[in-house]
Amino acid sequence: MNTSKQKPRTGLIVGGAVVAVVAMTVLAVAGVAIWTDVSKRDGSGYLTANAHRYASPTRAIATDEITIGTEVPKRLIGKVRLETTSAKPVFVGIARTAAVDAYLAGSSYATAGDLDLDPFDVTYVTHRGTKNAGRPAARTFWAASATGTGVTDLTWTPKSGSWSVVVMNADGSPGVSADVSAGVKAAWLLWAGIGIALAGALLAAVAGLMLYHGAGRPQTPAAAVPTPAL
């Protein structure tokens, strides 16, 4: 048996199988990205998470520091929307963390951290104080803010730096309670999914060619033609 033909064919089969697995993984990722973009966007084009209740007896609820690095390409940063629902006038704002810390210093507020969305769970760290920070909408350091009763929408285009989200009663009184959901508008998600799908299709084609040639029967050497006796 001529084993010289078998070794490269075995290599093609093994390599083709590996490439096929990679191709299926890439196509699965692409499918999730495209399905998410097509099925999860609302009428305004935002991908929105479920709303969850945030509540504290303090004067404000602030998130932990949210850091956005300068290395993130601007074209990949879409708009962010915070949708707040409350039965009484509520304020929601986004500002530099340093400004928020200075504003809330000396007042009673809760920092929301260790956030899990599914299942929802949040840990509050309470900061005690007696200072009345006043009406938050009167301050000018907010990068984006909104005030209202019922459903209130805040939209913001993220920038690099350290940021905090703050939810308060519009009059700055204690006892904050609101349902908040976050959404993002990222136009690149669909095109990223399509690009990944094309890459997966190319890998699948390569895997198919490798398996096809690896599984082909080795050619039988031509029989030697006997030389006529003289």
> Buried b vs exposed e over 157-171: b needs ≥16 C-beta within 10 Å?
ebeeeebbbbbbbbe
Contacts of 187 (CB under 8 A, 6+ apart): 78
Per-residue pLDDT at 64 exceeds 80 = yes
Q: What angle do CA 79, 142, 46 make, to 5 degrees?
A: 20
* Neighbour tally for 219: CB within 10 Å: 7
pLDDT for the residue 91: 96
Contact between 181 and 50 under an 8 Å Cβ cutoff? The reply is: yes
Of the candidates 192, 141, 160, 200, the residue with the CA atom closest to the CA atom of residue 23: 200
pLDDT digits (tens, 9 = 90+) for 155-168: 998 888 999 999 99
Crossing angle for the helix pair 188-215 and 6-40, to the nearest 10 degrees? 160
Residue range 150-196, pLDDT digits in tens: 999 999 988 889 999 999 999 999 999 999 988 777 655 544 545 56
What one-character-per-residue DSSP string does 99-125 give?
Answer: HHHHHHTTS-EEEEEEEEETTEEEEEE
Q: Give the tens place of pLDDT for each residue, 81-138.
A: 899 999 999 999 999 999 999 999 999 999 998 777 677 788 999 999 999 999 999 9
Contact residues for 143 (Cβ-Cβ < 8 A; gap 6+): 94, 95, 96, 156, 159, 163
pLDDT at 57 over 90: yes
User: What is the H or E stretch that residue 153 is in?
Assistant: strand 144-156
Burial (CB < 10 A; 0-12, 13-18, 19+), residue 65, is: middle
142: how many CB neighbours lie within 10 A of its CB?
21
pLDDT at 75 over 70: no
Q: Which of 67, 180, 65, 55 is nearest to 109 (CA)?
A: 55
Q: Is the pLDDT of residue 65 over 50?
A: yes
What confidence score (pLDDT) does residue 215 get? 65
